[in-house]
Structures are given as structure tokens and as C-alpha cells.
Amino acid sequence: MATTHTMGAFERSLAALDVGFSRTDPDGFEAALSDTITEPAVGARLGFEGLALPESVTLDPSPRELEEAVTGVTAASFAVAEYGSLILPSTPDGSEIVSVFCDHHVAVLAESDLVLDVPTAFARLSEEVGEARASAIVATGPSATADMGELVRGAHGPKTVDVLLVEGL
Amino acid sequence: MSTDRAETAARLRELLETEGDSVKANTAVFNRGRYDSVAELDDYEELKDRAREIKEDAIERLPELIDELTESVEENGGHVYLASDAAAANRYIEEVCLEAGAETLVKSKSMTSEEIEVNDHLEQAGIDVTETDLAEFVLQIANEEPSHIVAPAIHKSREEIARLIETVFDPDDPPETAEELTMFAREHLLEKVKAADVGMTGANFLVAESGTMMLVTSEGNARKSAVAPDTHVALAGVEKIVPRFEDLAPFVELIGRSGTGQDLTSYVSLLTPPVESPAVDFDSPDVPGFGGSDAEREFHLVLLDNGRMAMREDSDLQETLYCIRCAACSNTCANFQHVGGHAFGGETYSGGIATGWEAGVHGLDSAAEFNDLCTGCSRCVPACPVKIDIPWINEVVRDRINHGTGGEFDFLVDGLVPDAEEGGPDLQKRLFGNYGTLARLGSATAPVSNWVGSLPPARLAMERLFGVDRRRPLPKFQRETLVDWFEGRGGPRVSAVDAEREAVFYADAYTNYVDVGRGKATVRTLEALGVHVRVPAVPESGRAPLSQGMLATADEAASAVYGTLAEHVDSGRDIVVVEPSDLAMFRSDYEHLLPERSFDRLAENSYEILEYVYGLLENGAGEERLRAGQDRVAYHSHCQQRTLGLEGYTEAVLERLGYDVLTSEVECCGMAGSFGYKRQYYDLAVDVGHDLVDQFERPGERDRVVLTSGTSCTDQLDDLMAREPIHPIELIAPE
């Protein structure tokens, strides 16, 4: 379980990045998610036991559905409180793709998957990415560029990001 | 030679006018961001040490790591090609494209791909290449080269980009704001990503043990380029390999902070290709599961040598391979801030470390185009996350350039100057490299030398022959040197028996022959604080020849200085230095010029004058013997003094004595030794100097007494401001 210190650091980091944050429990998950998404929405299976995406979220989307979707919903493998970073895995059902192509990304995070700092995160990444020879993105805030004269959010990836933290998971 | 200098001057003036404002505004944001961002890290120094260690070990073991990485990538199902040069890399990438039946390729930003000019090569082979990084996209449609290794379109303003997009695409509703321009590019480039057959990226790091690559980005284009098409080509220099996955950790925390002042960039991709994400088949828009592509993913890693393995064997260039291309050395460099990478860069790379890269991958000619823009101010040294001695690389390459080209009038100076250079450096470099000798001659013949030196015909001849800009006033040599004055007054006035400490005051060439006043003030201050002071004649430190890339001469100077001072050090005397550029020789540069034990002994026993005064006061010397005051002062600490971390002592002593201190915010005053005297750089030096003048001339600050610790800063501010600067020691010295 995340300590109060870790949770506080996470909330401050997300606020500084302009990333939305809300919390729910497994029972309230569907309602909380519906409040967060804008349809049309696409998604990738979350992989948390007892937690399914509502029907309003299209799984295994076609390229057209992917392009037309406003929100993309995916699970984060874990998150780093001090930086507000989300670890987004590369999966066969296209989690990473959904998280980068849509204008709005909603990341679902289990409370137990919040770690404090980079050294702790790297220990876990070493195992889940390095040893497993897998792939993941460390995503910190929305996509951004300053190439056109000033900071703009949503250069190629999402313009806005929300984190939905599920307590008790 | 004279025509070359005029051309260089004209080119720099043009860039100052056209690109300077944009580059300066952007690099200033990055540089300030770096200071703020690294200040948040409690373990910044430890992270840098760790990063350095990892790179040292990786480059040391590079051949075996290449083998290990190759094995890992192949186990994962990818292919590795070790390209000996640019042509081989281009050939391989073209073959991959042809085998994939590719007509279109999307790319994310990669300086290594600029190095091999892969776009030109692929386009000649009939493949449509699109840069998807927004800045690279702007440069591609403008047909221009990057001006910065991280933010390649840093020289273009928003207005210029808007005009460019309007001209090239003629849209119905031309985008104007940064938001509109970004969205226009996003939509245009999304169509390119959808149509792409191959995605190409660089790699910031490669992990030998797992075959994982790390990509540091912000926009998301690299994510799309790597994952949407089913074929991914990654191009990276061999030096990007680190042994273990966990070795990435310090770099993740350092690279964004060092480069653009971001704690972390938006996306750090950790890809172990071929990735598990399905490729997206946009040609089947209505088939669920991302178009239902069943094509197997292809991954090709192209490892580029192109001179790197030879750099590894070159003890002076080897450090360049530790570079993680963060651009901290560009952003922190005063000259770069004013002219950008189109002047301060070679064929591919720009900024301080570019001299090493260009010399290694393209050759000395490319490095020679801009190497002299590094003044050795050393402000990049503490900024570099892998602690590369960037000024030293510049000086070594300058030396090699000097000796690769024969000077045409060498016979004129061979007899006049005592340097150890055989042929090689041009007249201008040999003139400034022998400053000590010239100062001695100037002093011996003063005031005649000063009168002659100020005559217009003499200045014209100096400009034509040596490239000394007519507009820059020359130093006024004093007939009575500091050493003579000290002997004349009967030597030390505090006897060694009564003294708490004994010190040797190093009479550098400038203090001894020109600014004798700051030398006398130093002696008076030390004696007032009970120090037994000696002022022996000691040779020049070698700073002047080192800055001109005359390494053999600098090396001889270091030995001579050490030979003179070693006995004093062994007798327990402290070496006190007033000129920061000479102190930096003793404490830093001599590491390259003296045996380790000699270097350590001199470095450990040398002090900057205000650092020394601070120590004396802390140990109980009476501060009432110094001149206290309520004056308001504006203090500019010499660049090399700040790199040594010593500016704080001056501030502390001044505040202790009651002065109100405003400290400068610029990295360098722009004069940088002889740089501001040179005809080809005079305008740039003055432009840089005005940043400092502007701060000290702000309303409400104009009454402050101007204090400078370095010779060149004193000369520069004296030329650019009405107030005459003095050394802090002259303010606090007793009458």
C-alpha cells in the first residue's frame, strides 16, 4: 500500500504536470471511469482481476476507431510518485498504441503499484523490462513540444492525461 | 589570412543579426532550467560520478559489449549490422527498405542519422523520407541544417515557421499561433505515419545484456514511428552501449535536466524490439485489432563506427565518446548563446563537445571551421553530466589543427617569440600565445611601447598582420613591474618569524606588467593580515599558449612554473594567485601537463586571493585591518573562477566587511582572454559583453562600484562601461 508520503508526492507531481487525478475503489470503478472518458473511446484490457472496461470503451479497435476515438484507456504497470511518471507496457492487444494515438489518455493504476522514486522504479523495470526482454514507456505528463515557438501540449501524443487510481488493488 | 578573418567576422555578424535573438532566447531558457532542475537533485554529484563511471567502463569494454549486444538483439529476434562508415550504414538501411518493399519511411530525430545523411541517400533510392519531429520537420521543408543538437530549429522564430508553412503548403487557413502550427504539423505528419512502410529512430542508450534501447523524447513521434509500421530500423553510434539495464537509471535522471531543464522528458521509451504491440495496418481501416496485420515485426539495429573505434584508441579524443548529446555544453556557452550551431558547429554536430565529434567522425577540417569559438571559459565543465573536460578536447584539437597547416609568415615570429611550436600555429595565435613575452617587452620599453601601440598606423599593421582588432584598446604596460616594486620596497615587511603563515604571491604576466595596482593591493592586504609574503619572478603559467592550442609551449611553461614553485610548496608556503585563469591552470589544466603527484601538490597548495583572505579571516585574522565600507558593489566573477566554485569566497568577504553585493548572472563576459582582441571575433565578444553590461546598467544599479576578478573581464568592462572596474582586493586593501 502506498504511504501517505508517497501518495502526496504523486499528487503534487501530477498537479505540476497538469495531469488529472481521481481515486475510486473496485466497486465504483465503472462509474468513475465513465466520468473520466469522452466518447468515442477505445481501450486495451486492463489485466486487473475483477476490473473490466465498460462497453462504451471499444477493445481491439480498427484503425479508423483508433483514429476517431477521443479517449484511450489503458492500464499503467506502475507509477513513480516523485516524477508523476506512468509505466505503460507494450502488449499484444495494443496498450501502448492506444495510449499514444488518442488525444486523451486515461491510465488506470492499482494503488499497490505506486512506487516512490527512480531507484525503486528501476529495480522493477530491470525485472519487468530488462530481464523479461519486454518494452515499456515511462510517460511523464502529456506529449509536449516547444518547437513551434512556445510550449504546446499534444505534439504527436495525447494532449491531456488522467490517472484513475483504484484503491485496494 | 586577413581576408579569412574579415569573412569570419562578416559571417558571425550576419548570424548575430539573423539567428542570434532566437538562439539566445531559447538557450537562456534551457540553461536556467538546468540550474533550477539539477538543484532539486540531492544526489546530483553522485549521479554524475555514476554516469561517468558507467561510460568509462562501457567504452573500455566496447568490443565485448558490441558482441554481447549483438547476441541479445539476435536472441530477441532482431538483426544487428555493424557499419564501418556512413556509406556502409546507408547501404544497409536502403537494403532493408528495398526488402520490405518500402516506398515511405518516417523518422524521429537522430543526430547520428544527420551524420550519415541517410535522408539524401534514401531519397536517391526513391524512398520518401519524412522527419516527424516537429523541429526536424520544419528544417526538412526549409531545407536547412540543425542549429542545436537537441532543439534543431532553435534559430527559427514562430513567425518564420508560420511564413514557411504558409509558403510550402498554402493552407486555406494558415496557422499562426504555436498551438495552431503544432496541430497543423501533427495532422500533416499523422498522414505520413499512417502511410509509412518503415519507421526509423535513433537510440540514446543501448543495453548489451538485454538488447533494450532507450529513447528520450517529448512529442510522441518516436513512439509512433517505432511501433506503427511493422519494420523498425534503429541507428546508433557504437558508443551508446551500456552493459546492464540498471545502468540506464542515472542517465534517466540526468539527461533531461542537463539538456533542456526538464526533470524528465515526456517519454522515455524502453524498447526491447521487436516489440509486442501489434503493427497498425492503416490500409485496412475497418478491420478490428488495428487492421489485423499478421506481418511479423522486423527490427534492424545499425551500429555505426564511422571513426568511433579510432577515437577510442586516441587518449585525448576518447572522452568524447562519453557524451550523451544532452547539449548542456551548447546552452551554457556564451558564444553559442549568441550565434548558435550554424556558426558554432561543423558538418553535423554543434556546441562545445562538437569539436571532439567532428574531429573524430568527419576530420580536422570540419572541426577547424568553428573550434576557435571555444574560448576555454570552462562553464560547460560543471554542466556536463558525464564530466567531460570539453575545453581540453578543444585545445588538443586546436593544437592538431595548428600543426596540420603551415603558417605563412613563421619566419617573422620564430626569432621573436620563444614558444616551443615548430611551424603550425598562425601568426595571430602565436602573438597571443606569447603574451607573457610581449608584456615583458612592452613593460621594458614603456611608455614608448604604449605610445607606439596607440598610433593608427601601428594598429592598422597589427590588424592586417596579426588580426588584432583596431577598435579594441591595448593593455597599458607599466615600466615598474610588480616584482621590481616589491624588491624596491625592501621585500617582505612581515618577517617569517612573526608570521602565522608564509605565502608566495604569483605575479602573473598581467599583474606584473600591466595591472600592477591589484598586485600591490594583494601584498598590502596579506601583510595587514600577518602573512609573510614573497613575490619572486615566476614564469608565465602557460594559459596564453594553451588557449591558442600551443600545447608544447604550455607544457614547457607548466614544468618551468612547477620547477620554480616546488621548493616553496615544500617549505610550507601557500601559493596565492590573483588571476583566476592562472589559478585554473594550477588547479585544473596542469592535470594534463604535469605528473600526477606534481599536479596534486601544486593544486592543493594554491589559492585564489579572496579564497585565501576568507580562510585567514575564518582563522582569526583581524578583519578590522581591512577596508570596510557600506558601498554598493556589482561583482562579476571570472568564468574559470566560478567553474572552480570559488566566487562565493569573494562574496562572503565583501559582505562580512559590510558591502552590498550584486553578483552577475552571465556565464562569461565575452572577452575570454585574447578572444575579444581578435578581429574576426570582436563583434561577437562585444555582443556577449553587453549581456553583462545590461545587468550592471539596470536602473537602480548604476551607482555600484564594478568589481571584476579576471584580467579579460576587467578589460572588457573597462571598454564597454563608463565605470572603471577594479579587482575586489583593491576595494578591501588597507591604504
Tell me which residue of B109, B19, B572, B571 sits closest to B325, measured CA to CA: B109
Residues in A touching B269 (Cβ below 8 Å): 135, 137-138
Q: Measured between CA atoms, how close is B105 to chain A, in angstroms?
A: 17
Grid-cell match 608565465, residue found: B540
Chain A residue with Cα closest to B179: A152
Of A64, A122, A149, the CB nearest to B158: A149
Interface predicted TM-score (ipTM) over 0.95: yes
Whether B220 contacts chain A with CB within 8 A: yes
Residues 6+ apart with CB under 8 A from B443: B449, B477, B478, B479, B481, B512, B513, B514
Residues in B touching A138 (Cβ below 8 Å): 252, 264, 267-270
Could you report the per-residue pLDDT of B603-655, keeping only the tens digit for each?
999 999 999 999 999 999 889 999 999 899 999 999 999 999 999 999 999 99
Residue B143 class from Cβ within 10 Å (0-12 exposed, 13-18 middle, 19+ buried)?
Answer: exposed
C-alpha cell at B449: 611601447
pLDDT at B415 over 80: no
Residues 6+ apart with CB under 8 A from B210: A129, A130, A131, A133, B72, B245, B272
Compute how many other C-beta atoms are within 10 angstroms of the C-beta atom of residue B711.
27
Grid-cell match 489503458, residue found: A74
Q: Measured between CA atoms, how close is A111 to chain B, in angstroms?
A: 22
Residue spans of beta strands (DSSP E) within B261-311: 267-271, 298-304
**SS3 at position B268:** strand
Residue window 337-396, chain B: list those with CB within 8 Å of chain A: none
**Higher pLDDT among residues B403 and B540, named by residue:** B540
For chain A, the structural domain boundaries read: 4-166
Alpha-helical regions (H) of B530-661: 543-547, 551-570, 580-587, 596-604, 609-618, 639-643, 647-656
Could you report the per-residue pLDDT of B393-403, keeping only the tens digit for each?
999 999 999 98
Note the pLDDT of residue B463.
85
C-alpha cell at B443: 613593460
Phi, psi (deg, nearest 5) at residue A7: -65, -40
Note the pLDDT of residue B422.
66
User: Cβ contact (<8 Å) for B272 and A131?
Assistant: no
Phi, psi (deg, nearest 5) at residue B325: 55, 45
Of A130, A139, A147, the CB nearest to B153: A147
User: Cβ contact (<8 Å) for A135 and B271?
Assistant: yes
Tell me which residue of B218, B180, B177, B222 sits closest to B201, measured CA to CA: B222
C-alpha cell at A54: 465498460
pLDDT at B672 over 80: no
Helices B647-656 and B609-618, packing angle to 10 deg: 50
User: Which of A17, A80, A135 to substitute to test the interface with B, most B CBs within 10 Å?
Assistant: A135
What is the fold, at CATH topology level, of the domain defined by A4-166?
Rossmann fold (3.40.50)
Residues 6+ apart with CB under 8 A from B321: B55, B59, B239, B308, B311, B312
User: Which of A148, A153, A160 to substitute to test the interface with B, most B CBs within 10 Å?
Assistant: A148
Residue type, B548: Q
For chain B, the structural domain boundaries read: 2-308, 482-732
Could you report the per-residue pLDDT of A108-165, keeping only the tens digit for each?
999 999 999 999 999 999 999 999 999 999 999 999 988 888 889 999 999 999 999 9
User: Cβ contact (<8 Å) for B220 and A100?
Assistant: yes
Of A62, A100, A154, the CB nearest to B291: A62
Average pLDDT of the residues in B586-608: 98
Residues in A touching B278 (Cβ below 8 Å): 92-94, 97
Taken as a whole, chain B contains a residue count of 735
What is the DSSP-derived secondary structure letter of residue A128?
Answer: I
Strand order in the sheet with B241-242: A114-115, A78-80, A85-89, A136-140, B267-271, B212-217, B205-207, B241-242
User: Cβ contact (<8 Å) for A141 and B266?
Assistant: yes
Q: Which residues make beta-bridge pairs with B236?
A: B303
C-alpha cell at B360: 573524430
The architecture that CATH gives domain B2-308 is 3-Layer(aba) Sandwich (3.40)
Note the pLDDT of residue B447.
80
What is the DSSP-derived secondary structure letter of residue B41?
Answer: -
Chain B residue with Cα closest to A44: B289
Q: Measured between CA atoms, how close is B161 to chain A, in angstroms?
A: 7
Of A91, A135, A150, the CB nearest to B270: A135
Q: Which residues make beta-bridge pairs with B303?
A: B82, B236
Residues in A touching B284 (Cβ below 8 Å): 62-63
User: Which of B218, B268, B282, B287 to substitute to test the interface with A, most A CBs within 10 Å?
Assistant: B218
Residues in B touching A102 (Cβ below 8 Å): none
Tell me which residue of B55, B90, B113 sits closest to B241, measured CA to CA: B55
Could you report the per-residue pLDDT of A24-80, keeping only the tens digit for each?
999 999 999 999 999 999 999 999 988 999 999 999 999 999 999 999 999 999 999
